[in-house]
Amino acid sequence: MNLKNYQITVGEVLQNPQAKAMLQKELPMVMRHPMLPMANAIPLKDVIHYAGGYVSQRKMQNILDQLSRL
């Protein structure tokens, strides 16, 4: 998956069934959150920035690596 230098939006990522399935496995609580649809227009770079307090840097890098390989 082309992450467009992390400018890809959450909505674009979630349109990919493989990416969505991987994120459901890696971040189940986030993927079930009722506010998730409001994040569709947010660029991935912003999500990475804000997730720092909730997701370890190692886990975030693992997720980004998996997305890049799709």
Reported as a single tens digit per residue, the pLDDT across 5-47 is 999 999 999 999 999 999 999 999 999 999 999 999 999 999 9
State residue 53's pLDDT score: 82
- Give which of 35, 29, 38, 26 is closest to 64, Cα–Cα: 26
Using CA atoms, how far residue 52 sits from 1, 2, 56, 60, in Å, is: 22, 22, 6, 8
Cβ(24)–Cβ(31) below 8 Å: yes
Residue range 45-61: average pLDDT?
Answer: 92
- For residue 52, what pLDDT is reported? 80
Cα–Cα distance, 24 to 30 (Å, whole number)? 8
Residue spans of the domains in the chain: they are: 4-69
